[in-house]
Amino acid sequence: MEQSFIPSKVAVLGHPKLPDALSESKTIADFISAKGIQSKHGSLNDEKLRKQVHSGEFDLVIAVGGDGTMLRASHLCAPHNIPVLGLNKGRLGFLMQVFEGGWEAMVNQLLEGNGWIEHRMMLSAELSRSGEVLGSWYALNDAVVSRSHILRPIHVEATVDGQYLTRYVCDGLIASTATGSTAYALASGGPILPPELRNILLIPIAPHLSVDRAIVLSEGASVSMRVLSDNTVMSIDGQMPHNLAEDDIVFVRRCPFNAMFLRFGDPGYFYRNLTAHMSQNTFNNLPR
């Protein structure tokens, strides 16, 4: 846990397709400005505001939306060491700090210096074909190699730190962070890791007659996923997939920078909130 953090210039960015998020972004920015802190508001897709984030004009971004908004805000801010405070307008909100109706009290806490910065590991994923790097991406949750539209298993060879691990026959293979362990990895039967861990988690999706257990790699380890079949795609943090060819390699390792989340209270929040989050798809959503 770090020392208290008080921002001097804040960007409040809302989910571009949620009108409530955009209107609330303006309300929050106006509230912060009235407290004597410079602030701007707009859509997370606003190119002018994004350029200002890239140039270091803000020292805090408040993301208004759901977990997907928090992921996109982290992609934007992490390379520039800018912390993100999440205000939940979505359904689950695993990554969020502030829930609907509670932002005013949290902003007051922030301006009193009661916030602290949490660092979370991100992944770097690099796609290579015939020895040529075709692209690289950053992920907060996961990098996934999976089958495409044809409903048959794919074959993926996994190598850890240059050493052969196994060949998977499955619907896909997830390389996840501890943050991502409560996302797709959890839905695929993986364990929940505390967010401060800096390990890569490997989870096969619907494995068929192959290794069917999640594997937690040692801290600092890297993994290569070599595609051994067609009908295969790669997705980073659930974004639009990239088509893969046979013998393509997706190389995943720890990112050189971290996602930074603004938090309030003590670091034990994760365990206190876990049960509440896990019950949201059960009793709360039963038909009435």
- What are the catalytic residues? 67
Among the listed residues 266, 259, 287, 268, the one whose alpha carbon sits nearest the alpha carbon of residue 73 = 259
* DSSP 8-state symbol, 162: T
Query: Residue 3: CA atoms inside 13 Å, Cβ hemisphere, count?
Result: 1
**Helix segments in the chain, DSSP class H:** 19-34, 47-54, 67-77, 103-111, 184-187, 269-278
Residues 89 and 66 sit within 8 Å (Cβ to Cβ): yes
d(CA 170, CA 124): 23
d(CA 58, CA 33): 14
Q: CA-CA-CA-CA torsion for 178, 145, 70, 215, nearest 10 degrees? A: -10
d(CA 12, CA 40): 6
Radius of gyration of the chain (CA): 20
Phi and psi, residue 82, nearest 5° = -105, 125
What does DSSP say about strands 60-65 and 9-14: parallel, antiparallel, or unpaired?
parallel
